[in-house]
Structure 1
């Protein structure tokens, strides 16, 4: 019985694990031209993704990436 329970838990967590994965985007406010990091892809026209198709897995990666984006470093 315990073995079946462990198998069921392992299967459920392997399916649910991607749902817990975070993603970070480097975005720029259209009006102020200020770059920030968000956890969700912008859906409005007030901000645009400036890191191209790059999706960062951690905030630290996004911060490092933001330093390399030309429009963010020129402000």
Structure 2
């Protein structure tokens, strides 16, 4: 059931038009899914989320469908 939720969110975020101007390093999908994963993993802060990134990289890619996690 959780996989279905992640899939629905991922598909929905891919449909959101990206109106940002200029060069963008991170896709809107990856930014949105990163925010969701931070919430789902119950990280207390963005810093905590990024500190644990190396240990979670495979999960973020496989479970949350994130290609590149925003880090700036």
TM range, smaller chain: under 0.3
Report the TM-score when normalising by structure 2. 0.27
Which structure has the highest strand share of the two? 1
Higher relative contact order (CA 8 A, sep 6+): 2
TM-score, L = length of structure 1: 0.27
